[in-house]
Amino acid sequence: MNPAIEVTELVKVYPSGKRAVDGLSFTVPPGQVFGLLGPNGSGKTTTTRILATLLHRTSGTVRIQGIDVERRPRDVRRVIGYTGQSIGVDDDLTARENLVLQGRLHGLGGARAAERAAELLELMSLTDVADVRTGRFSGGMRRRVDLVQALMHEPPVLFLDEPTTGMDPQSRAALWTYLDRLRRDGLTALLTTQYLEEADRACDQIAIIDEGRLLTGGTPQALKAELGADRLTVTVPPACYPDAARIVAECPEVTRIEQAEPLVLSLRSGGASVPEVLRRIELGGVRITTVQHSPVTLDDVFLRYTGHRVRTDIDTRPAMSAAFAAMHGRRPRS
């Protein structure tokens, strides 16, 4: 069976000379959710747009369900859904009309398009405003309409670029519950997100990229395990930090000293290690002031590999619908 998504040595160089993607390779098996994570400007959106046939690659190969995106872009568009960072709804149409339009453009009959639109409007709690022009909607409501447009034709492969930015928690939860159901039915999805807890919960595999290159990849569980089972933050009197660091460096329960002042430690076996580490520090004659124990998160993994925390300055200005652009042979400027 072909991978649902196969990217091999992908390179994208813009006319300015900027190398946005630099030899990126990964595969996504059918029925998995794959998270593509990285700082702003790392190449996530460029990669996603190439996969969705909205940008030409410079070199390398990309196949969706075995179909080459450069040689057969129209065939690729039949099997994908795409939601970008920019909101692509028509403000002069109602929510229902936007969805029905997308369904018809993707070949659904009138009755099926209306039925599907009603299903998705209910999913996103938009039934009460289904016949209101989207130009009157809040940004979060418009985002919800934009998201379900990509699901109208029930594509087997879905690309979601920062899909839940601006959405309320209830709508985010409803979307992930629905996508989890679709995944069990065979949907493959590639996701970029600023919400790493979503990636942790939703993704089977993740890849962290920066400057267009792959830094690391694997399951969320495996990547967190590389940092240690848990994190322990210990404060001591300022003059005692060198002694405390020397003591914990000899503790077999400590896998890494991540920070010296205060002491931030990665532990090998989680909460079970905490009492022994604290006991060793106190036996060494160092008085402990405060202790904080917390599990390792994907944010910790992200920080380790990129040196950055996730930024949230996402552009949600209106833009031409990707599906509409694809059907009419247009491409946003690259």
How does pLDDT run across 127-172, given as a tens digit for each residue?
Answer: 999 999 999 999 889 999 999 999 999 999 999 998 888 788 888 8
DSSP element (H, E) containing 178: helix 169-184
CA distances from 298 to 16, 30, 193, 273, 313 (A): 33, 24, 12, 21, 19
Q: Given its phi and psi angles, is residue 127 left (phi above 0), alpha (psi -120 to 50 degrees) or beta?
A: alpha
Q: How confident is the model at residue 297 (pLDDT cuts 50, 70, 90)?
A: confident
pLDDT for position 206: 96
> Helix or strand or coil: residue 76?
helix
pLDDT for position 310: 66
Q: Is the pLDDT of residue 327 over 80?
A: no
Among candidate residues 159, 258, 209, the one with its CA nearest the CA of residue 26: 209
Q: How confident is the model at residue 278 (pLDDT cuts 50, 70, 90)?
A: very high
Question: pLDDT for 39-52, tens place per residue?
Answer: 989 999 999 999 99
Sequence-distant (6+) residues with CB within 8 A of 279 are none
> Helix or strand or coil: residue 238?
helix
Among candidate residues 164, 178, 160, the one with its CA nearest the CA of residue 82: 160
Q: How confident is the model at residue 260 (pLDDT cuts 50, 70, 90)?
A: confident
- Residue boundaries of the structural domains of the chain: 5-219+311-327, 229-295
Q: How confident is the model at residue 294 (pLDDT cuts 50, 70, 90)?
A: confident
pLDDT for position 311: 54
The mean predicted confidence, pLDDT, of the chain is 89
* Alpha carbons 143 and 314: distance in angstroms, whole number: 13
DSSP element (H, E) containing 230: strand 230-235
* Alpha carbons 215 and 125: distance in angstroms, whole number: 39
pLDDT for position 71: 96
Among candidate residues 30, 26, 29, the one with its CA nearest the CA of residue 38: 26
Q: Is the pLDDT of residue 268 over 70?
A: yes
CA distances from 314 to 26, 84, 97, 179 (A): 25, 11, 27, 22
- Torsion sign (Cα): 114, 118, 120, 125: positive
Question: pLDDT for 123-135, tens place per residue?
Answer: 889 999 999 999 9
Return the CATH superfamily for domain 5-219+311-327.
Answer: P-loop containing nucleotide triphosphate hydrolases (3.40.50.300)
Does 5-219+311-327 match 229-295 in CATH topology?
A: no
CATH 3.30.70.920 fits 229-295, yes or no: yes
Question: pLDDT for 203-232, tens place per residue?
Answer: 999 999 999 999 999 999 999 888 776 889
More confident residue, 64 or 334: 64
Which of 16-20, 221-225, 277-281 is predicted with the least confidence, judged by mean pLDDT?
Answer: 221-225
Task: Report the interhelical angle of 139-149 vs 110-123 (nearest 10°).
Answer: 140
* Alpha carbons 251 and 91: distance in angstroms, whole number: 61
What percent of the chain stands above pLDDT 90?
A: 66
Specify whether the CB–CB gap between 220 and 293 falls below 8 A. Answer: no
Q: How confident is the model at residue 2 (pLDDT cuts 50, 70, 90)?
A: confident
* Alpha carbons 175 and 157: distance in angstroms, whole number: 16
Q: How confident is the model at residue 329 (pLDDT cuts 50, 70, 90)?
A: very low
pLDDT for position 270: 67
DSSP element (H, E) containing 36: strand 33-37
